[in-house]
Every structure is written in C-alpha cells, then in structure tokens.
A and B are shown apart, each in its own frame.
Chain A
Amino acid sequence: MLTYLINGISLGSVYAIIALGYTMVYGIAKMLNFAHGDVIMVGGYMAFCATSYLGWPAIPSVLFSVLVCTVLGIVIERLAYKPLRNASSLAVLITAIGVSYFLQNTALLIWSSNPKAFPNLVSLPNLSVGSIQISSVAMVTVAACIIIMVGLTLFTDKTKMGKAMRAVSEDKGAAQLMGINVNGTISLTFAIGSGLAAIAGVLLCSAYPTLMPTTGAMPGIKAFTAAVFGGIGSIPGAMLGGILLGLIEIFGKAYISTQLSDAIVFAVLIIVLIVKPTGLLGKKVNEKV
C-alpha cells in the first residue's frame, strides 16, 4: 500500500514536470504543443548518448540533455509555430502533430526502433524504511519535482521576467505597450518547458529504462491530461494534476486492473471536466470591459 503511494507520487511527479511544459506554453502562446511529449524522448536519447557513447558522468549528461532540448524547443517554436502566430488554432494543432511525428521519425532514423537500455544515472543507495524500499530514483524524482515547482513559482511571482510572462499570457498587445518583447517571452517559455521535458525524460527513463522513439508519446498524452485535469494554464494545477494522475494510475493498476488503468485515468479526467470544466485549479476568466 505504502509502496503504491510512493510509486504513484513518483510517477505523478514525472507527469507533473511534463505537464508544466504544456501548461506554460498554453498559458503564454495559447496553443497545445503536442510535440512536447517527443521532446521528452529526445531528452532521454541525449542523456543516453552522452553516457553510453561519450562515457560522460551523470550530471554533465543531464545538463547536456537539458541544453539540447532547450535549444530544440526554441527552434521548434521559431520554425514551426511562430509563422502561424495569427493562424487558426486548428492549423497550429495540426502543425504540432506534424512536429511530433517529425521528431519521432527522426529518432527512428538515428536510433532505430530497437529499445535502448537506459543507463542507471542515479547512483545513490535505495532507502529502506522498515519493510518498505524507496528507490533512489523515486526520491530524486520527487525532489526534482519539488525544486522545479518552488523555482518556477518564485520565478513567475518575483522576477521581472516572470511577471512579464504573466502579463504576456493575459494581453500580448498591452504587454508590448509596456515594452515587453513578446516574441522573446514566448521563446523563453518554450525554452523552459523543453528544458523541463529533458529532465522529465531522464527521470522517466531512469524509472522505466527502455528507450524507444515512441517513449515520449504516452507520458506526453497523460501529462497533457494532467495539465487539463489540474486546470490548464495554472502552474500549481499542473503539479496537482500530475501527482493525482500518477496516484490514480498506480492504484488503478494495483487494485482494479492493469489493462484498464489508462482507461480509469481518462474516466476520472472526464468526470472532473464535467463537474468542473476549468479543471481543479483552473482560473475563471473574469474580464471586466
């Protein structure tokens, strides 16, 4: 029982970190970046290459992965989404799906569809509390999630750039009148989201060490669900949604059915959205004109 709880929170923390990327990009650029899940996969492969091919130690490998994904996020936004800034949201959505397939197929070309065994990057001992074992990966994952959450909250609440980001998410025109560079802010958001995706990729592959070009797809969709569940656009919502989703999935697998666990996850989402369409912590848009 406690083991399930720990596994659920740990898996949920990965979803939460991915969901943050969805939610931030949605908040600023008002688009669903469906390629976000595949950036996780790229992050996994980058860390894999750095350790297995180049023989780098864990920390530099993770940093390398974060760096590559950050740049990748900026490049995707510039090349694929920026030209569509004023296009219909359907066109943007289709482009995002296109980018997703592009990343998957490129990975397929480079690394083939054979699963790669992800190296163990977390070389800490597991923790035993009484009869329960807590894996070091789970501990690192939860710690990373907490640090990211606190860091992002401080960033958006306290820093000039973070406040500007909130201003842009509300009204791009007014933000520009203040002197805020909206394009720069959108790039920054993609950079942060993609950097987080790299971290999520490393954590995910550490917990489930098989790496394939489709590795990011399912966690991506679930994290998107988590973001909607918590209230898309809301940072604490993404956190809460991610953790709850992880718990539901693990407990569903344990007590109800392994095959049905994903169906349960989506059933819960649908119920929440019927009861509260804006998600758990979603903001009501209260505009006074």
Chain B
Amino acid sequence: MSMLSVENLHVYYGSIHAIKGISFEVNEGEIVTLIGANGAGKSTTLNTVAGLLKPKNGSVQFEENSLLGIPVHKIVGKGMALCPEGRRIFLQLTVQENLEMGAYSRPGSEIEASIEEIYQRFPRLKERHKQIAGTLSGGEQQMLAMGRALMSKPKLMMLDEPSMGLAPILVEQIFDIIKELNEAGTTILLVEQNAQMALSVAHRGYVLETGRIVTTGTGAELLEDDAVRKAYLGG
C-alpha cells in the first residue's frame, strides 16, 4: 500500500523554481532514498512533505489523505516525522527535554515509557539525559535528533542527511539503526549525500537533479547504473 504519494510537486523560493514537478511514492514497510547533488532539491522536497514549505502546485498524500492546507504542527500527529537537515535539536534544552518535545503531539501518560525505549536504543543519551543538548558531540546530537523524531511514534520517518559530518564508524551505526527501525515496522524516506550507503540499505531510490527526478529503480539497480555510478559514486 502506498503510504506517501507525491504528485507533480512544484516548489518555489520567491522566483526560484526549486522543485519542478516531481512525483514519487513510498510504500508501507519500505526504505526509499532520494539522492542527488548539492542543491538538487532534496531538503526542499522533505520540508514540503512535512509542511514547512507550501508547494505552488501538486499533491502530497499521506495514507490516502491530502496533507496540503493542514497546519505544520498538526502533521506530526498523523504519523509522520522529519528529522531535519542539520539536526536542529534544541541546543538550550536538556537531552530529556528535547525528547519530551518530540512527543509533544502525544498524550503525556505515554511519554515516560517512550523515553525509556529511546534510552535503550541510544544508551549514550541516557547517560547524558540532564545535559544541555548544545554540549553534546556531533554524533550524540544526531542520535538525539533521531531519538526526538522517534518520540512521536511515526509510521513514516523522514531523515535528511543523518550521516552529515559524522566519522565513518558513526555513519555505519546510524545506517544500522535505520535498518533496525525499518525491520521493526517504520517506513523510511531517506535523503543522503552518501549515495553508496543510502542505496545499499534502500529498497528503492530516486535520483534528483536540479528539481527533477531523472532516474528511479531498486537500490541494487541504481548501484549498478552507469550514469549514477559516474555522478554519485565516484565512477
């Protein structure tokens, strides 16, 4: 079943036409990745799906319901979370408060149990639960950003460059977590610069170039695709 369906999406920043009519789908249980060079429009796409940007044209449907016109803060309650580019955790709040904010749309009685679950997945966060988030290392901040997004219990989790700025060992760890989450039933839409890693975990992928989708296929097909190899995998 199609969980997220985007059709003929056009997004502008003022007069800049950033997304030029893209369409794609994410089915329940999948990991789908959007790859592309800097400025291709990956973040713009995710931000539009999450409601932060308003498209000029096109449709965004989540579980058969249109998301357009719904205020941003109501979208997370429908079961979709975005872990944004650059993490954007609340630097002046504690680790635990950041997680509480992630569960803002849920009833207070369920929050404590969810925080425990997150701490089990990310023991580092538990050790530092009272620490101000701005003092965490980059890797810990990324864990916190993912933990915070998971606190809303999303059916669809969108991740914008979760590996950005991390050491290779941490990148492996982040991708392992993404696979685990997916196996536990969360559908994933992943945006990555690290095309090699992204395509090797993804069921399907889309290649974005200057606001248009130019290629699509399974992860394995795209890894083998000559043009994709040339452009994004270093030959």
Interface residues of A (CB under 8 A from B): 160, 163-164, 166-167, 170-171, 173-182, 283, 286-289
- Residue on A with the closest CB to B53? A173
Contact A175 B101 (CB under 8 A): yes
Q: For A160, list chain B residues within 8 Å (CB).
A: 100, 104, 108
Contacting B90 at CB < 8 Å: which of A170, A179, A182, A289?
Answer: A170
Contact B138 A164 (CB under 8 A): no
Complex CA gap A289/B161 in Å reads 13
Q: For A173, list chain B residues within 8 Å (CB).
A: 52, 84, 88
Interface pick from B69-77, B169-177, B192-200: B69-77
Contacts A164-B104, A166-B97, A176-B73 aside, 6 further interface pairs with beta carbons under 8 A come to A160-B104, A163-B100, A171-B90, A178-B76, A179-B104, A181-B71
Complex CA gap A31/B99 in Å reads 28
Shortest C-beta distance, B93 to chain A (Å), equals 6
Complex CA gap A179/B76 in Å reads 6
- Residue on A with the closest CB to B105? A179
Instruction: Work out how many contacts link A and B, with CB atoms closer than 8 A.
Output: 73
Tell me the chain B residues, 46-100 only, with Cβ under 8 Å from chain A: 50-52, 71-74, 76-77, 81-82, 84, 86, 88-93, 97, 100
Contact A177 B81 (CB under 8 A): yes
Contact A178 B104 (CB under 8 A): yes
Contact A179 B77 (CB under 8 A): yes
Query: Is B141 in contact with chain A by the CB < 8 A criterion?
Result: yes
Shortest C-beta distance, A169 to chain B (Å), equals 8
Contact A174 B92 (CB under 8 A): no
Complex CA gap A214/B88 in Å reads 44
Shortest C-beta distance, A173 to chain B (Å), equals 6
Task: Assess A178 versus B88: contact at CB under 8 Å? Given A288-B134, A288-B138.
Answer: no
Complex CA gap A175/B105 in Å reads 11
Contact B100 A181 (CB under 8 A): no
Tell me the chain B residues, 101-151 only, with Cβ under 8 Å from chain A: 101-102, 104-105, 108, 134, 138, 141, 148
Task: Assess A170 versus B72: contact at CB under 8 Å? Given A177-B84, A288-B138.
Answer: no
In the A-B complex, the 6 residue pairs with the smallest Cβ-Cβ separation, listed nearest first, are A179-B105, A174-B88, A176-B72, A179-B76, A179-B104, A178-B104
Contact A177 B82 (CB under 8 A): yes
Complex CA gap A164/B97 in Å reads 9
Q: For B108, list chain A residues within 8 Å (CB).
A: 160
Task: Assess A177 versus B76: contact at CB under 8 Å? Given A160-B108, A163-B97, A170-B91.
Answer: yes
Contact B91 A286 (CB under 8 A): yes
Contact A166 B77 (CB under 8 A): no
Contacting B52 at CB < 8 Å: which of A170, A177, A181, A288?
Answer: A177
Contact A288 B141 (CB under 8 A): yes
Q: For A182, list chain B residues within 8 Å (CB).
A: 73
Contact A180 B91 (CB under 8 A): no
Contact B92 A166 (CB under 8 A): yes
- Residue on A with the closest CB to B151? A178
